[in-house]
């Protein structure tokens, strides 16, 4: 490996451990460079770690992009057929999503959803549903919005609020959501540390979110 590539990889590892507090022993992330593109591979503890690690690598100079092969540890071990059935049932129960226009493919716990939806909010909601399946380790959201919509911070905010409405573990009425430059801020009160964690994860699951500032206060 060239010295320049070594320096880039060591620099990324330093960011992951120092700034993002990722334990590379507990959650090993393998890095390599192929044709000036950073390849990240491994299993991390949660969605926040995955997105933060990718964004950190994207900010490195002298590279052209990042190939995402990071996976999230599943909360429950599930087979591909079970994951697909779980997600199909979720889509069938959600009136806002037309399951007949969505194709689900699951391989080794990685969920790929394709097809068409009528809005960006529908696309984001479908992606979150895929992340909510306990056995999912990654989600590839290839849904096409027809007719196309222009994305913006308000779209992100609306999607996060919609996700909170669908999550029975979150009391959305006590949470305010705002977005600036694709950074979501959560404010308000929740009833437990667990609800605070779930709300933050829900925001991270939303496609397009680059950061989540969790200012929720726990009031028992």
Domains and CATH numbers, the chain: 3-72 (3.30.1340.30), 80-145 (3.30.1340), 153-218 (3.30.1340.30)
43, 41, 68, 64: which is closest to 54 by C-alpha?
A: 68
Task: Give this prediction's pTM.
Answer: 0.93
Measured between alpha carbons, how far is 209 from 202 in angstroms, rounded to an integer?
10
Per-residue model confidence as pLDDT tens for the chain (220 residues): 688 889 899 999 999 999 888 888 888 999 999 988 999 999 999 999 999 999 999 988 788 899 999 999 999 999 999 999 999 999 999 988 999 999 999 999 999 999 999 999 999 999 999 999 999 999 999 999 999 999 999 999 999 999 999 999 999 999 999 999 999 999 999 999 999 999 999 999 999 999 999 999 999 8
Other CB atoms within 10 A of residue 177 CB: 20
Measured between alpha carbons, how far is 37 from 97 in angstroms, rounded to an integer?
36
């Amino acid at each position: 490996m060239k010295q320049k590539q070594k320096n880039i990889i060591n620099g990324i590892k330093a960011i992951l451990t120092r700034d993002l507090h990722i334990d590379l022993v507990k959650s090993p992330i393998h890095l390599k460079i192929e044709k000036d593109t950073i390849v990240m591979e491994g299993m991390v503890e949660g969605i926040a770690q995955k997105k933060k690690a990718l964004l950190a690598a994207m900010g490195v100079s002298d590279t052209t992009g990042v190939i995402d092969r990071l996976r999230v540890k599943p909360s429950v071990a599930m087979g591909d057929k079970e994951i697909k059935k779980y997600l199909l049932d979720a889509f069938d129960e959600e009136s806002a999503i037309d399951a007949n226009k969505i194709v689900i493919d699951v391989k080794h716990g990685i969920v790929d959803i394709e097809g068409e939806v009528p809005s960006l909010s529908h696309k984001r909601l479908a992606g979150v549903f895929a992340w909510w399946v306990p056995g999912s380790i990654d989600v590839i959201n290839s849904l096409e919005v027809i007719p196309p919509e222009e994305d913006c911070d308000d779209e992100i905010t609306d999607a996060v609020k919609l996700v909170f409405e669908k999550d029975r573990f979150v009391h959305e009425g006590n949470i305010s959501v705002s977005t600036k430059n694709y950074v979501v801020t959560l404010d308000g009160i929740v009833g437990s540390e667990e609800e605070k964690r779930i709300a933050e994860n829900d925001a991270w699951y939303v496609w397009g979110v680059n950061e989540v500032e969790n200012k929720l206060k726990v009031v028992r």
